[in-house]
Amino acid sequence: MLLHGIMSSIAEFYCRNLATEVIKGLSQKAAQGGTVTKAPIGYRNVGVRDEFGREVRTVEIDEERARLVRWAFQVFASGDWTTSQLHQELVARGLTTAASPRRPSRPIGKSSVHRMLTNPYYKGSVRYQGVTYAGVHEAIIPNEVWDQVQTVLGTHRSAADATQVHEHYLKGTVFCGQCGSRLLVCNAKSSQGTIYPYFVCASRHGGRGDCTRQAMLIEQVERLVERFYVKVQIDPETIEAVSAMIHARFDEMMAEGAAELADLASRRTQLGGEQQKLLQAHYAGAIPLDLLKREQDRITASLETIEHRITAHHGHYAAARENLDDSLKLLSNAADIYEHADDANRRLINQALFKAIYIDEDNDVRVGYRNPYDGLSLSGLHADALSWAAEAKKMGQVGTATKGGPLVASSHLTRLG
């Protein structure tokens, strides 16, 4: 049943909301310049105590390795070295990765050298989810040296390969409409030297399969997704109807749950009585101490389970209702929110709503929604909700408001703002 699926996915959504909160926390840490992940080679993560004696994770320079990192940037900036030569020389000079609980220290890998040379962390910046922030850690490479290294890498790249893979906020969310492969970011250079970033099907790019999807200008794909958000957005009347219908269903479910709660409460009283009887029996010398202890433990465990279920029952519905409201609020303003979001937030919104966005050959956009948006976006549900709301309104007008009628609806609608 359609509505049932949505109810359970809203409950599930609670966990994903937590994930969103965590991501938000991490973004804020990066925005404040903190180091959100493992410190790169040349630095180390350390725990220090703040003025209140709390442990705070921070980063300090790993001088032994930092010395080699500085040397690497210096010589590479000269333009006389390839990354392979630099890699060999760094291994010879003993640059190793820092040991972690899972991995022992070992010589630096070749791809790590390229990652090191392009990491803005060394000049004091922190990059998170495609956005660069000013870091609070100490830089070990001067800005101009870091920039020079990027220029050298750029010339190597255009000489060797015009289709180097790059980052973009849509990467990982957009897929080829013809074969379903991921879309990769590539840069094409015109004869005048202008660079055009475009998306290309990973399967076609890698020469696998027989996909014939043409490359797409990134700018055009960005516009297509923006325009699709107009379709994602749900009009206010439908949002209100969907909200009212689902909240009314929640009310019914809570009422059904009330019977179970009453059972739990009487079971709790019964267990309390058993506890008393046991004690009296023990005092009367009828049962030995070890048996009393075993029985007490059993009863305490049961009581804890009951308390837990009673608390969970209330919390579960409150959280689910809140998540429903949040989800609907996003759907009611989706186009506006997306239009005004920066790249990092666009990535988050896309990831929250969609499993995948497919770009078809004729520039049609198809999407796979995630829970609970897949259910909430169904036109069938919208039609049901609108007729449910019309019915509820009619009942209200003749003065026979029933359980889940307009009274419930209006009280919840105000919360949507």
> Which residues 236-255 are close enough to bind Zn ion by CB under 5 A?
none
Taking the complex as a whole, the smallest distance from the CB of residue 6 to Zn ion amounts, in Å, to: 33
Least distance in angstroms from the C-beta of 362 to Zn ion: 14
Stretch in the footprint of Zn ion (CB under 5 A) among 51-59, 189-197, 213-221, 303-311: 213-221
How far is Cα 324 from Cα 373, in angstroms, rounded to an integer? 10
Closest listed residue to residue 262, CA positions, set 270, 252, 272, 251:
270
The nearer residue to Zn ion, 211 or 271, going by C-beta atoms, is 211
User: How far apart (Å, rounded) are the C-alpha atoms in residues 222 and 365?
Assistant: 11
Burial class of 213 by CB neighbour count within 10 A (0 to 12, 13 to 18, 19+): buried
Candidate ranges 28-36, 191-199, 211-219, 256-264; the one touching Zn ion (CB under 5 A):
211-219
Length of the chain counted residue by residue: 417
The answer to the question of residue 359 lying near Zn ion (CB under 5 A) is no
Part of the chain binding Zn ion (CB under 5 A), chosen from 160-168, 196-204, 257-265, 272-280: 196-204
Give the nearest distance from C-beta 356 to Zn ion in angstroms. Answer: 13
Find the part of the chain contacting Zn ion (CB under 5 A) among 195-203, 251-259, 288-296, 366-374: 195-203
Residue 321 interacting with Zn ion (CB under 5 A): no
Question: Is 205 an interacting residue with respect to Zn ion (CB under 5 A)?
Answer: no
Least Å distance between CB 200 and Zn ion?
A: 9
Query: Rounded to the nearest whole angstrom, what is the least distance from the CB of residue 203 to Zn ion in the complex?
Result: 5
Helix (H, G, I), strand (E, B) or coil at 362: coil
Q: How far apart are CA 216 and CA 185, in angstroms?
A: 10
**Contact by Cβ (8 Å): 140, 69:** yes
For Zn ion (CB under 5 A), the number of binding residues is 8
Contact 38, 45 (CB under 8 A): yes
Which residues partner with 192 through β-bridges?
A: none
Q: According to CB under 5 A, which one of 178, 243, 323, 371 is a site residue for Zn ion? A: 178
Nearer to Zn ion, 237 or 360 (CB): 360
* Burial degree of 242 (CB within 10 A; 0-12, 13-18, 19+): buried
- 279/277 Cα distance (integer angstroms): 5
Nearest residue to 373 (alpha-carbon basis) of 351, 394, 395:
351
Q: How far is the CB of 227 from Zn ion (least distance, A)?
A: 22
140, 70 in Cβ contact below 8 A? yes
The answer to whether residue 179 forms part of the interface with Zn ion (CB under 5 A) is yes
Strand 354-359: give its sheet, edge to edge.
174-176, 354-359, 365-369
Q: And the tokens for 333?
A: 């303003």
Q: Which is nearer to Zn ion, 75 or 365 (CB)?
A: 365
Q: Which is nearer to Zn ion, 133 or 358 (CB)?
A: 358
DSSP secondary structure letters along 2-38: HHHHHHHHHHHHHHHHHHHHHHHHHHHHHHTT---SP
Q: Which phi-psi region, left, alpha or beta, contains residue 342 (left: φ > 0; alpha: ψ -120 to 50)? A: beta
Closer CB to Zn ion, 201 or 328, in the complex: 201
Contact between 213 and Zn ion per CB under 5 A: yes
Contact region with Zn ion (CB under 5 A), list: 96-104, 203-211, 260-268, 392-400: 203-211
Q: What one-letter code names the amino acid at 69? A: V
Among the candidate windows 104-112, 194-202, 274-282, 305-313, which touches Zn ion by CB under 5 A? 194-202
Least distance to Zn ion, CB of residue 117, Å: 32
Q: Tell the residue number behind the tokens 């379903």, with chain if given.
A: 180
Q: Is 181 in the site for Zn ion (CB under 5 A)?
A: yes
Taking the complex as a whole, how short is the minimal distance between the CB of residue 361 and Zn ion, in angstroms? 10
For the CB of residue 365, give the shortest distance to Zn ion in the complex, in Å.
Answer: 15
Q: How far is the CB of 160 from Zn ion (least distance, A)?
A: 25
Interface with Zn ion includes 176 (CB under 5 A)? yes
Work out which of 11, 131, 211, 341 binds Zn ion, going by CB under 5 A: 211
Q: Tell me if the bond preceding 104 is cis, omega within 30° of 0.
A: no
Nearer Cβ to Zn ion (73/358): 358
List of residues contacting Zn ion (CB under 5 A) = 176, 178-179, 181, 201, 203, 211, 213
